[in-house]
Amino acid sequence: MSKKTARALISTIVVGGALTVLMAISLSEGAQYYKHVDEVMQQPDAWYGKNLQLHGFVVEGSHLIKPGTLEHRFAVRTGAHVVQASYTGVVPDTFKDGSEVVLTGRLAAEGFHVAPGGVMAKCPSKYEASAARNAGK
């Protein structure tokens, strides 16, 4: 192997290795898991401090707002598992008891801390009722 070929090969290996390490670091820092409440709450210790998108339904009567603030506390459930959530900010208009939500944030021992802007309430389709009516025709 010539000296020129050896240098090119070594340079390629070094640059490729550096790019691989940078990608691995970037992806691990920005990675988010998409999980349902029951998946996370079966072994909550395993999820503490990790970036999560948590899917569930707002528990009826659990939504509390601290007077004069934008501090929200509510419970989210899927299946038999429930997690308490806290959020500071404006919630979407579609956020209400029983609504399907996806929360972005981190789980801690005291509950799920929702990141700023991390509440997404899915609205039920306004076309479901008319689609069901039209299906009967």
Q: Are residues 64 and 85 in the same domain?
A: yes
Is 94 part of any domain? yes
Strands 100-108 and 111-122: antiparallel
Residue ranges of alpha helices (H) inside 45-136 are: 128-135
Q: Are residues 25 and 72 in the same domain?
A: no
**What does the block give as tokens for 93?**
């208009």
**pLDDT at 28 (0 to 100):** 56
Q: What is the pLDDT of residues 72-92, one digit of tens each?
A: 999 999 999 999 999 999 999
Is 130 part of any domain? no
Q: Are residues 50 and 38 in the same domain?
A: yes
Q: Are residues 42 and 106 in the same domain?
A: yes
Is 133 part of any domain? no
Residue 134's pLDDT band (boundaries 50, 70, 90)?
very low
**What does the block give as tokens for 113?**
């801390």
CA neighbours closer than 13 Å in the CB half-sphere of residue 58? 26
CA pair distance 126, 50, nearest whole angstrom: 35
- In the block, tokens 């801690």 appear at 108
Q: Are residues 61 and 75 in the same domain?
A: yes
Domain span including residue 73: 32-122
pTM attached to this predicted model: 0.69
Provide the number of structural domains found in the chain: 2
Helix (H) or strand (E) holding 33: strand 33-36
Is 43 part of any domain? yes
Q: What is the pLDDT of residues 5-47, one digit of tens each?
A: 888 888 999 998 888 877 766 655 556 789 999 999 999 999 9
Residue 71's pLDDT band (boundaries 50, 70, 90)?
very high
Is 108 part of any domain? yes
Q: Return the CATH number at 76.
A: 2.40.50.140
Residue 137: pLDDT over 90:
no
Q: What is the mean pLDDT of the chain?
A: 86
